[in-house]
């Protein structure tokens, strides 16, 4: 069994603490090694890489993951939510929600970036048909009206 899958199953059963055994499982995981072998400073690369890593328990402890989080915080997070497509004017609901979910899994739910994304969902996300959003910028408007 892939060691990251074993780690996930073990985590879901008893949420054990990070220790040397967990570190070894992360280091020997083919999947973790594949996800952390290259790094490209591009918003969509960061989005999809952090989504994959967030599925594996304890990856927030990895230097690679911390580097990705720093990049996302500096280049994708805005005062209104996450926007990998062009700043505050281009917040797209699915990317905002996916990054919020990844940050939550990584234990970053109390950080301002997560709170900004959650507040955006509460304020502007459309959940029913034939609604109009109060959002003044692009992205959601063309999909939500």
Q: Which domain covers residue 32, as residue numbers? A: 3-144
pLDDT tens-digit map of 30-86? 999 999 999 999 999 999 999 999 999 999 999 999 999 999 999 999 999 999 987
Q: How far apart are the first and last CA of the chain?
A: 47
pLDDT tens-digit map of 94-137? 899 999 999 999 999 999 999 999 998 888 877 777 777 777 77
**From CA 82, how far away is CA 96, in angstroms rounded?**
5
**Number of structural domains, the chain?**
1
pLDDT of residue 142: 47
Query: What is the pTM for the complete model shown?
Result: 0.85
DSSP string, 55-109: TSTTGGGSHHHHHHHHHHHHHTB-SSSB-TTTSGGG--HHHHHHHHHHHHHTT-T
């Amino acid at each position: 069994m892939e060691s990251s899958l074993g780690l996930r199953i073990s985590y879901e059963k008893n949420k054990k603490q990070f220790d040397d055994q967990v570190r070894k499982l992360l280091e020997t995981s083919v999947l973790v090694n594949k996800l952390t072998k290259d790094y490209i400073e591009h918003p969509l690369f960061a989005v999809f890489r952090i989504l994959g890593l967030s599925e594996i328990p304890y990856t927030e402890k990895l230097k690679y993951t911390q580097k990705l989080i720093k990049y996302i915080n500096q280049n994708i997070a805005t005062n209104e939510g996450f926007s990998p497509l062009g700043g505050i004017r281009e917040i797209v609901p699915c990317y905002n929600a996916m990054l919020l979910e990844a940050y939550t899994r990584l234990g970053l739910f109390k950080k301002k970036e997560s709170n900004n994304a959650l507040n955006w969902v509460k304020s502007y996300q459309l959940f029913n048909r034939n609604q109009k959003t109060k959002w003044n910028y692009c992205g959601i408007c063309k999909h939500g009206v």
